[in-house]
Amino acid sequence: MFFSPEQVVGYRLLIGSIVMIFIAFLNGKSLPGSLLPWLHFIIFAIIGNILPFLLIAKGQLSISSGMAGLLMAIMPLVTLILAHFFIPNDKLNRYKIIGFILGISGVIFILGPSLNNNNNTVFGILLVLAAACSYAVNTIFATRLPSYDPLVASSGVLIVASVISFLIWPDILFLNFIDLSLISGLSILLLGIFPTAIAMVIYFNIINSAGATFLSNINYLIPVVAFFLGALVLGESIFWHNLLALLLIISGIVISRFRF
């Protein structure tokens, strides 16, 4: 692997911030001149970008991409619990509780076989689960804090996140570009553009228009896409207990969306 987990975090954020500054400039947007929005951007940057990006990058050193995608499906369930306590008019009901129990059962079902599976370590699984929880916390923050123009918020958050990451890990600046392969360079470039910059704009658009619980439902697709891409592109194996865990988690999410 050419990039360390810290370099993956730092360079995807740097690329994402450059892309967002360019997009915001083209759309005539300007960054906030007061301090308060930047304090909010710092919260988003740490909880919603630096921390989960690092946890996922480190976790995927010892688990498959399909497993990582499956574990990210726990994020809507964590959001349900947090929304009950921190978002008015988004309380738990019987369906949400049943859904949460099913989802947690799916995660527990993953942990058992992984103890005897050399391809997926419990430590890597716990790191990705922590990243999913971090995304859930960030979603609650984004709902409770003042809303901002999606382009402005995306630019501000990614600028702050990239600056913080290079302050935390200054050594990641020393990168030997001579040995950089085409596939590694292209991968980090696409990672910075699409799932970082473009996804951030979509994120703030949905938060402003639909709220936290609806936004968390994007995680329906993550395990499905991760499983199939892992199998098709990386040749990863899909085991029966992975599919059963996936069924439990998605069933939990679907049931949690029922209404009285």
Burial label for 80, CB within 10 Å (0-12, 13-18, 19+), is: buried
pLDDT of residue 223: 64
Residues, the chain:
260
pLDDT of residue 13: 95
CA–CA distances in Å: residue 25 to residues 89, 156, 198: 37, 13, 15
H or E element at residue 57: helix 51-59
Average the pLDDT over each of 2-6, 96-100, 177-181, 182-186 and give the range with the smallest value.
Answer: 177-181
Domain residue spans of the chain: 5-25+32-256
Nearest alpha carbon to residue 79 among 242, 221, 259, 256? 256
In the predicted model, what is the mean pLDDT of the chain?
A: 84
Name the one residue in this structure whose structure tokens are 């302050």: 167
Whole-prediction pTM: 0.81
Contact 185, 61 (CB under 8 A): no
Name the pLDDT band for 161 (thresholds 50, 70, 90).
Answer: very high
pLDDT one-digit tens code per residue, 182-224: 888 899 999 999 989 999 999 888 877 876 666 666 665 666 6
Amino acid (1-letter code) at residue 126: L
Q: Is 206 or 166 the better-scoring residue by pLDDT?
A: 166
How crowded is residue 221: how many other Cβ atoms within 10 Å of its Cβ? 11
pLDDT of residue 214: 67
CA–CA distances in Å: residue 177 to residues 2, 130, 171, 173, 181: 10, 32, 14, 11, 9
pLDDT of residue 23: 94
pLDDT one-digit tens code per residue, 84-106: 899 887 788 888 888 888 877 87
pLDDT of residue 160: 97
Task: Report the phi/psi class of residue 251: left, alpha or beta, with left for phi > 0 and alpha for psi in -120 to 50.
Answer: alpha
Mean pLDDT of 173-181: 79
- Res. 112: pLDDT tops 70: no
Mean pLDDT of 221-231: 68
Contact 172, 249 (CB under 8 A): no
- Which percentage of the chain shows pLDDT scores above 70? 87
Name the pLDDT band for 10 (thresholds 50, 70, 90).
Answer: very high
- Res. 115: pLDDT tops 60: no
Q: What is the DSSP string of 236-248?
A: ----HHHHHHHHH
Sequence-distant (≥ 6) Cβ neighbours of residue 250 within 8 angstroms = 73, 220, 223
pLDDT one-digit tens code per residue, 244-260: 877 887 787 788 777 65
User: Helix, strand, coil shares of the chain as percentages rounded to 5?
Assistant: 80, 0, 20
pLDDT of residue 111: 65
Amino acid (1-letter code) at residue 44: F
pLDDT of residue 206: 82
| Strand runs labelled E in the chain | none
